[in-house]
Amino acid sequence: MVASLSELGGLTKDIQGYIGQVDERGRLFEQSFCTELKVEMSDYYKLVADIESRLFKTPRTLRPGESPLGVTLRRMFNWTIEARQKLRLMATAIAKVQEGKGGGDILSTISTLVDDGDPFIHSFAQRLLKTASAPFNEILVRWVTDGELADPYREFFIREREGRRDMFWSEKYIVASDMIPVHINREMTRKIFQIGRSLNFLRVACDDAEWVTSDGPRTQIVEGSDLSDPSHLESFVYRSSSMVNARLMSVLKEKFGLMGHIMAMRRYLLFEQGDFALALMEVLDNQSDRSGKNIMAHDLSAVLSSAVRSSNAQYENEEHVSAMLLTFGEENSKNKGWDDVSLMYSLSAPLSYVVPKIALRQYVEVSQFMIRLKRVEHKLQSIWRRQMTEARSYLRSEELQRRKTPVANGGDMGAHGSDDSMRQAMRQSAIACSEMVQFFHQVQRYISLNVIEGAWGEFLETTGPVEASDAKTGDAREIDIDKWNEAHSKYIGVIHEVVCGGGSSGGMGFQRNLSGIFDTAFQFINAVKEMYSERTLSSRRGTASSSSPSPSERVQQYRNTLAGGSASASRHASSVSAVVARFKEQVRNIMR
């Protein structure tokens, strides 16, 4: 009995010492917790004062065997039973709070006492929790109604990152998981976090503070509801989440044209706009004789402007056109050339805060591959047109030469061999060129129809408006920026994985698989150009020797031209054959 009564003094000393420490630190959650401790201690002091007042008073009625003294050990023990239980509970709560990390962890600690089956402990812990939750609820309400974080001591489970105030969406705020109270589940935490930063984004980045103030979540607070009650808080959070997310997505799409920019990147960076791609390739071919060292920033800008003016892109939204920039894919590359250029897209605020930089980088890498693919196909088509023209010209000139020049019997077998070699080289190069054009065209069709169109359809299905059937069945989708970003990152990620490789599958992608084929195609283009250029020069030398040669001179001239052309035709035929064989072998290796 004496030990139990003496325990009161030790408990009181410990509680008072903790309250004094908290008053010095000044943290809101601990101060609020101590407010209820002070109320309970005030009741205890009243009890002590009442006991002291009875020390020298004899009770009015005495039972048989009772002492006439006003206060005895037994009476003190009986009078302090409830007070002793409260002091012990307070000391236990203090010890657990001191073991924790403070902030929201204090509420989790007290919540464990609320779940106790003892009615006395449950009732006492509820009072502690209600008082200690006051600053938490105040910060929470301000966060989910105004998007403002009033947390001077960083005790709330949402925190503002230092030095990231200009990163309005992705990195400005974080969730401190160890500060989340136990009565707030994971989905509730995500929605609270989403509501607050969406409101902050609307106010600061989108200049929509008027809606937040007049039509925001504050209008969803039902009169008489107590947001400190978990059930009321959950209902309010779910109503506010739908409202805020719908407003933010509406502002981004309608006021700032989010989807318009995404569609522009699809048309121009992924080269789904055919006339723009053709115009750009033609301008790049006209500039192909310039080396990388002589290519300046204004040259790239002039190329892009010329392509825009030469295509339907000139009727595009001016904001979309000005956001495009032609640049080199690798800025630090020493051997810069027209094959290394890529298109990039620059988003302005607030869209630049929403679309992550890694997604824009993936667009650039895909565009670099697509430009190279388009350039190879365009050059091969140009070579094919030249082949057809040269073939017809060669056949006409050969027929005319035969009619004009009499050939001795059996004297020009070498000339006929030269004709056969040249015909064979021209025919083989024409067939190979057609096969290459078909191959690269099929690669483009696969990327465009199977990859880009498929990923785009899935992206629109995920982020598009709710269908009427979904609304009737109650399966309406709630799209917020994070879900939209996830769908968009998946969309461009799938395209980037197929084109550039990497990703979850670890594949090489078209960029690595076709790297050697691109080099072979350019070698083929150069070989064919050389063959036709030399043939044209030989023909011109043969026709420009004299204005009116005699019949014998024409015979000798024809023989000399064909004799020299025999070796040249054989050399070009073997060069083209080697390149074609290498191309077919590379294609077979890919198909395996």
Q: What pLDDT is attached to residue 261?
A: 94
Alpha helices in 254-356 (DSSP H): 258-268, 274-286, 297-309, 318-323, 351-354
- Report how many helices (DSSP H) and strands (DSSP E) the chain contains, helices first: 23, 4
Rounded percentage of the chain residues whose pLDDT exceeds 90: 13
Collapsed DSSP state (helix, strand, coil) of residue 325: strand
User: What is the pTM (predicted TM-score) of this model?
Assistant: 0.77
409 falls in which pLDDT band (50, 70, 90)? very low
Res 208 pLDDT > 80: yes
488 falls in which pLDDT band (50, 70, 90)? very high
Between 42 and 420, name the one with better pLDDT. Answer: 42
Q: Which of 251, 244, 250 is nearest to 145 (CA)?
A: 244
Q: In this structure, is the dihedral angle defined by the CA atoms of residues 93, 94, 100 and 106, taken in order, positive or negative?
A: positive
Mean pLDDT of the chain: 78
Between 140 and 381, name the one with better pLDDT. Answer: 140
Residue partners of 373: CB distance under 8 A and separation at least 6: 440, 443, 444, 510, 514
CB burial of 54-81 (b: ≥16 within 10 Å; e: otherwise) equals eeeeeeeeeeeeeeeeebeeebbeebbe
Token pair 């609820």: residue: 137
CB burial of 260-299 (b: ≥16 within 10 Å; e: otherwise) equals ebbebbbbbbbbbbeebbbbbbebbeebeeeeeeebeeee
Of 31-45, 220-234, 323-337, give the range with the top mean pLDDT.
Answer: 31-45
Q: Which of 195, 205, 202, 169 is nearest to 350 (CA)?
A: 205
Is residue 369 within 8 Å of 517, Cβ to Cβ?
no
Q: What pLDDT is attached to residue 484?
A: 92
Res 413 pLDDT > 60: no
Res 570 pLDDT > 70: no
Q: What pLDDT is attached to residue 248?
A: 92
CA distance linking residue 91 with residue 234, whole number of Å: 32
Alpha helices in 310-356 (DSSP H): 318-323, 351-354
For residues 226-251, give the mean pLDDT: 84
Chain centroid to CA 376: 30
Cα distance from N-terminal residue to C-terminal residue, the chain: 90
Between 36 and 417, name the one with better pLDDT. Answer: 36
Written as six digits, the tokens of 572 are: 């070009």
Is residue 155 within 8 Å of 28, Cβ to Cβ?
yes
400 falls in which pLDDT band (50, 70, 90)? low
Class of residue 253 by CB neighbours under 10 A (exposed 0-12, middle 13-18, buried 19+): middle
Q: Which of 542, 566, 535 is nearest to 556 (CA)?
A: 542
Q: What pLDDT is attached to residue 341?
A: 81
Q: What pLDDT is attached to residue 257?
A: 92
Written as six digits, the tokens of 390 are: 């040269």
Res 565 pLDDT > 70: no
Residue partners of 24: CB distance under 8 A and separation at least 6: none
Residue pLDDT, tens place only, 13-65: 888 888 888 777 767 878 888 888 888 888 888 888 888 877 766 666 666 65
Res 223 pLDDT > 80: no
For residues 218-230, give the mean pLDDT: 71
For residues 294-304, give the mean pLDDT: 78
Rounded percentage of the chain residues whose pLDDT exceeds 70: 75
CA distance linking residue 531 with residue 179, whole number of Å: 75
266 falls in which pLDDT band (50, 70, 90)? very high
Between 416 and 196, name the one with better pLDDT. Answer: 196
CA distance linking residue 354 with residue 479, whole number of Å: 14
For residues 573-582, give the mean pLDDT: 77
Between 242 and 77, name the one with better pLDDT. Answer: 242
Question: β-pairing, 173-175 with 324-328?
Answer: unpaired
For residues 292-321, give the mean pLDDT: 83
For residues 156-169, give the mean pLDDT: 74
Residue pLDDT, tens place only, 423-443: 676 777 778 788 888 888 888
Residue pLDDT, tens place only, 454-467: 999 999 998 876 54
DSSP output for 82-137 = HHHHHHHHHHHHHHHHHHS-STHHHHHHHHHHHT-S-HHHHHHHHHHHHHHTHHHH
| Candidate from 194-208, 327-341, 432-446, 556-570 with smallest mean pLDDT | 556-570
Residue partners of 90: CB distance under 8 A and separation at least 6: 11, 15, 37, 40
Residue pLDDT, tens place only, 72-96: 777 778 888 888 888 888 888 888 7
| Candidate from 7-16, 245-254, 413-422, 477-486 with smallest mean pLDDT | 413-422
